Amino acid sequence: MKTNFEIKLSSENAWGKKITISPINNQINTNIDIRYNPITMGNHVDYLDVTSVGLDATGVLIGTANPVIITQVYGGGGNSGATYKSDFIELYNTTDSDIDLSGWTIYYVAATLSSTTVKYEFPLNTKIKAGKHFALKCADGAGAQPAWNIAFDATSTMALGGSAGKVILLDSNNAFALSSPPTINEIINHANFVDYVGYGTTAVPIWGSAMASNTTNNTSAKRKFLNGNYQYTQNFGNDFEIVTAEPHNSSFTTDITKNISSGLNLKVVNKTLVISGMYENKSIEVFNIVGTKVYSSKSISNSISLTHLINGIYFVKIGTEVIKIKL
């Protein structure tokens, strides 16, 4: 698992100290200096325990996720009472570059089992676009429900559990078996490990707590979205919620049309919008990548601070003009 915390060594002796880190304004781009100076010469082995505490709805520590993360899992397709016919798995590219998924593999493991042969290997030249979702269609259920009204980016025959299960993403097609129960070291230290989601109450979590509820034939396990970024605290009970299932493919975007006015100039300097041009008597709104409004004002100046927002992609709407920015 990649994080954006840096560990440094120095000659200062901070042995026995307890360090508490409190994010300010939901920002987490913080370097943590951990200094250890043994008092005797020779080889030394010591351990560092990191615990995340005090998370609540208004302040959530969001870790830097892997380049590709699992954002939604739905296994009730075609079951009794389901609206649509197919299961699906949704991915998201957290980077600014397209990523080649050729040869990557998704494994599905039943909630109470420890190994599986149920997998999907991404074909050659499969790519997930920068800052975009990727919708993988899975097996159809036995019901006569209609197909989803989106174009899936890829199609598999994997049948997912309707209430709980485990989904593992690897950047390889190598065989991968789990212990029972799986250990965190086994999964996150695997050479090709990318992401893991244990959804439902009976899937053994490798991080934090299990989800408080199972999915149903109309609901999915969806990664929470906060201030323009997907939540990634390595705690399934905290990171995922049960929502009405709705897959997002690579064409998904906000309902705002991007365009840049020739009479309007905007740049970002130290998380401050610097605006020049024909903006008089116009309102301003800022949206995150799923269309949630995170800032609005009926009148604007030529300098607007967005330091309360965490890093990510946003859309700035001034009057009828929309500009994409990155904080």
CA atoms within 13 A on the CB side of 132: 15
Which ranges of the chain have pLDDT less than 70?
1-65, 184, 227-228, 253-265, 270, 276-281, 299-301
238 by DSSP, 3-state: which? helix
pLDDT score for 12: 39
pLDDT score for 41: 55
pLDDT score for 167: 94
How many Cβ atoms from other residues are within 10 Å of residue 93's Cβ?
A: 21
pLDDT score for 137: 98
Residue 276, amino acid: S
Question: Torsion angle, CA of 294/270/317/227, rounded to 10 degrees?
Answer: -20
pLDDT score for 308: 85
Question: How does DSSP classify residue 156?
Answer: -
- Indicate the burial class of 148 (C-beta count within 10 angstroms; 0-12, 13-18, 19 or more): buried
- Which residues are 269's β-sheet partners? 272
Mean pLDDT for all residues in the chain: 76
Q: Are 129 and 98 in contact (CB under 8 A)?
A: yes
- Please give the Cα distance from 14 to 36 (Å, whole number): 6
Domains and CATH numbers, the chain: 68-244 (2.60.40), 264-326 (2.60.40)
- pLDDT, tens digit (0-9, with 9 covering 90-100), for 180-210: 777 767 777 788 899 999 999 999 777 788 9
pLDDT score for 18: 46
Q: Are 150 and 136 in contact (CB under 8 A)?
A: no
Q: Which of 66, 97, 103, 28 is nearest to 196 (CA)?
A: 66
